Amino acid sequence: MILKIRAAGDPVLRQRARPLRQEEILLPSTQELIASMRETMHDAPGVGLAAPQVGLPMQLAVIEDREEYMKDFTKEMLAERERKPVAFEVLINPVLTLESTPEIEFFEGCLSLPGLVALVPRARKVKVECLDAQGKPRVIRASGWHARILQHEIDHLSGGLYVDKMQSVSLCSLENFNRHWKGKSIPEVKRLLP
């Protein structure tokens, strides 16, 4: 089932989500929510979706970065972003540890801020300790774009949005990003921004 994605300004996006109890994870309602979140993420399309974005203040997020989302990027652009496909992952009650400083900047968008993107500094490497869809402990070590997606989705679980961390001068419409910035390297973008 496709769920309604909440837009910036909805209070649920700015509150800290509650952890899920172990016994909640295997409930049919939670498993249905995970399936619906995956379907909603694909439909949007996006590479991640957190429960607060569908109106539920729960420590639950899903991510998946499909190869088809990368078709418009050159090999150089993918290498610069360290972007490659990421299989479907469920993150429940995640604890994020940055394993490098937030120094890598790329344009980021968000399903709750449709049509906008901005440069956001993120850590290149992270470790995430969480529970999976079956409630089993899992440790994810990620770098590059995978690490960026994890940081973005986990921010949602504490009431954060990428606009809190963005380089405000870089905020632009998706249309203008595609027209003016998409094919440029980040050093070139930063040189051209005021």
Give tens-digit pLDDT for 51-79. Answer: 999 999 999 999 999 999 999 888 998 99
Residue 5 lies in a domain: no
Residue 66 lies in a domain: yes
Provide the residue range defining the domain that includes 34. Answer: 11-106+120-166
Classify 116 as helix, strand or coil: strand
CB-based burial, 17-54: b 16+ in 10 Å, e otherwise: beebeeeebeeeebeebbebbbebbeeeebbbbbbbbb
Residue 53 lies in a domain: yes
Distance CA 103, CA 95 (A): 20
Token pair for residue 95? Answer: 């604890």
Residue 175 lies in a domain: no
Provide the sign of the torsion angle of the four alpha carbons 34, 36, 37, 39, taken in this order.
positive
The per-residue pLDDT for 39 is 98
Q: How many domains does the chain have?
A: 1
Q: In what order do the strands lie in the sheet with 102-109?
A: 102-109, 116-123, 172-173
18 DSSP 8-state letter: B
Residue 26 lies in a domain: yes
The per-residue pLDDT for 194 is 86
132 closest CA partner among 176, 192, 175, 91 = 91
Residues in the chain: 194
Residue 139 lies in a domain: yes
The per-residue pLDDT for 72 is 87
The per-residue pLDDT for 102 is 84
Residue 45 lies in a domain: yes
Residues of the chain with pLDDT under 70: none
91 closest CA partner among 31, 135, 131, 46 = 131
The per-residue pLDDT for 73 is 87
The per-residue pLDDT for 159 is 98
The catalytic site residues sit at: 153
Contact 127, 150 (CB under 8 A): no
The per-residue pLDDT for 28 is 98
CATH code of residue 94: 3.90.45.10
Residue 191 lies in a domain: no
